[in-house]
Amino acid sequence: MDILNLPKFNILSISENENDFLIQVVTNSPPLACPHCGCKANLYKHGNREHVCMDLPIHGKRVALLIKRQRYRCRECSQTFWERLDHTIDAKRNCTKRLLSYVEKQSLNRTFVSISEDVGLNEKTIRNIFRDYINHLEETFRFVTPNWLGIDEIPIIKPRCVLTNIEERTLLDILPNRNKETVVGYLSRLPNKGRIQYFTMDMWKPYKDAVKAVLPKATIIVDKFHVVRMANQALETIRKQLREGLSPTERRGLMHDRFILLKRHKELTEMDKITLDLWTKNHPTLGIAYNLKESFFDIWDCDSRQKAFIKYNDWKAQIPKELQSAFEPLTKAMMNWDEEIFAYFDHRITNAYTESLNSLIRVINRLGRGYSFKALRAKILFTEGLVKDHKPKYQKRMDDYELRDYNFPMFENMPPVGVVRERGEQLRGIDISTLIEKLEKGEL
């Protein structure tokens, strides 16, 4: 029985031990002509040697092929040459091409050490295969440029810039850092970048400068959640200042009740309201700060920019002098970013879905022990099953005759951004919900 299923080889012998198969093979397709002069029928055997390379595991055991490779000499030109193995063997990695493909796919889901133990290749070789595979995918795997682009960050060892398609709720890319030069480079390389109408971001000036440099006509909208949480931070500052004059028992109580202070009033339970009343009656400053926080949140319910602007100025005028230092970071941000913040009331776009990536931070950091940023990024962007496609209802898949037209390896015909991969299909990015689900299940 041919357990190898390699048509170009005949099996001579099979030996095995507890962990490995050693299969001796010989090619069954001798050369028909000299590769040097093209002469036919004037070749003769001129020695041989044994060549060992690894193949796909069989029955849970590593497989090594012991290939009896023949050398030939041409009587016409007297040149010698070895019979070709490139139809099956990848000479660079000294393994079969199918094993190389297997390692490429597995490297996105498993550790390099486990793959090395599984297939018998050196761990460094696995890393090099992964590197070459990712470089290939980087050049060929492209997502469609969105109309609404979200820019945020996620801490993976250090802050990394995250780019999302807000309309499709997908992840587009993770950049190695959040510097202006890095973001400018990414935006500049986007084909059809002029289609981007809106950018949502937090108040990180390098993001704003990068967008202005590449797409000065695009509308920048500061994500409202980054603004309103500054009101919570101001309230926290006042709470921490207040606890300095409390007894140890009161201090512990205020620490535990801080979550009640951070809740919206409409979300408080009856018990929460009783607890809040006790704190605000005994400490009026805390009550004023809580009301200021609530009224600031209410600004975002306005139905126009003009109403929101007027309501904000009224709110700012109500801040007592003794609380102005605590709210200063918020009022200063509102002054420096007023155009981008109030743009929300003209275009109610937020990064709320991008913020759901924060739930992945702990999982990604745990997975990241021993991995480089590039490896983690590749696992997120290129793992099969995460890409969100858009296909018209009338064209769910390619016809058989169309599939036969593609005689290239996987991803070879992947188009640049904005071009359909299959007829009627566009790649929208990595579906964030699916990404979260796979990470939580430990499938990534």
pLDDT per residue, tens digit, the chain (444 aa), is 578 888 888 888 999 898 999 999 888 888 888 888 888 778 888 888 888 899 999 988 999 999 888 888 888 888 888 888 888 888 788 899 999 999 998 888 788 888 999 999 999 999 999 989 988 887 777 778 889 999 988 877 788 898 888 888 888 888 999 999 999 999 998 888 889 999 999 999 999 999 999 999 999 999 999 999 999 999 999 888 887 777 777 777 777 778 888 888 888 889 988 888 888 888 888 899 999 999 999 999 999 999 999 999 999 999 999 999 999 999 999 999 999 999 999 998 887 766 666 556 556 656 655 567 777 787 777 765 556 654 443 333 333 323 233 333 333 333 333 333 433 345 666 666 666 666 666 665
Least Cα distance to 220 among 355, 344, 306, 308 occurs for 344
Sign of torsion, CA 271 274 280 282? negative
For residues 182 and 175, the answer to whether their CB atoms sit within 8 Å is yes
Residue 142 neighbours by CB under 8 Å, 6+ apart: 191, 414, 415, 416, 417, 419, 427
CA angle 304, 197, 153 (to 5 degrees): 90
Least Cα distance to 152 among 216, 200, 217, 205 occurs for 200
For residues 151 and 199, the answer to whether their CB atoms sit within 8 Å is yes
CA distance 92 to 87: 13
* pLDDT the model gives residue 180: 94
- First CA to last CA distance, the chain: 37
Domain segments of the chain as ranges:
1-90, 224-345
Q: What are phi and psi of 420, to 5 degrees?
A: -70, 140
Strands 61-74 and 43-58: antiparallel
For residues 163 and 151, the answer to whether their CB atoms sit within 8 Å is yes
> Over the Cα atoms of the chain, what is R_g?
31
CA distance 103 to 54: 12
DSSP class of residue 2? Answer: -
CA–CA distance from 105 to each of 8, 34, 110, 341, 439 (Å)? 24, 37, 9, 44, 17
Place of tokens 């490896």: 375
CA distance 183 to 204: 12
Question: Is 0.75 surpassed by the pTM of this model?
Answer: no
* pLDDT the model gives residue 51: 85
The letter for the amino acid at 109 is N
Using DSSP's 3-state secondary structure scheme, residue 427 falls into strand
CA 247 to chain centre: 48
CA distance 112 to 130: 9
* pLDDT the model gives residue 420: 34
